[in-house]
Amino acid sequence: MAAELNHVIVWCRNKARSATFLATVLARPAPAPFHHFLVVELDNGVSLDFMEKTGDIAFQHYAFLIPEGDFDAAFARIRAAQAPYWADPARTRPNEINHNDGGHGVYFEGPEGHLFELLTRPYGSA
């Protein structure tokens, strides 16, 4: 049986703000409306579908593998957005990036509190 991840729903209180933030950091096209979602398309056919809800939101972690040559520009967009960032998922190394597996990585907080990650080398690839 073949299986591929198709989409993930990202719960938020303000889908325009959240989807636009991520699309900007990842240098993706503007989020596209689809029914009650705002959709950020990725290069591998997976989409992040931002959907508003009231009440508590369970904060999630979303990791994005990007080319090494794109890291500096993406990191500059994170800093320009004044998003908090860390070198580790436990958030114990603020205002740092990591060099895991010989690449670059950073964890950063989105407008809703989700923890996003950019990495240039898959874990265990060193």
The residue segments making up the domain with residue 64 are: 7-52+59-119
Does 108 map to a domain? yes
Return the number of other C-beta atoms located less than 10 Å from residue 4's C-beta.
Answer: 7
Give the CATH number of the domain where residue 93 resides: 3.10.180.10
Does 125 map to a domain? no
Does 43 map to a domain? yes
Does 126 map to a domain? no
The whole-model pTM stands at 0.95
Does 124 map to a domain? no
Tens-place pLDDT, residues 24-41: 999 999 999 999 999 999
- The total domain count for the chain is 1
Does 1 map to a domain? no
Tens-place pLDDT, residues 56-109: 999 999 999 999 999 999 999 999 999 999 999 999 999 999 999 999 999 999
Does 75 map to a domain? yes
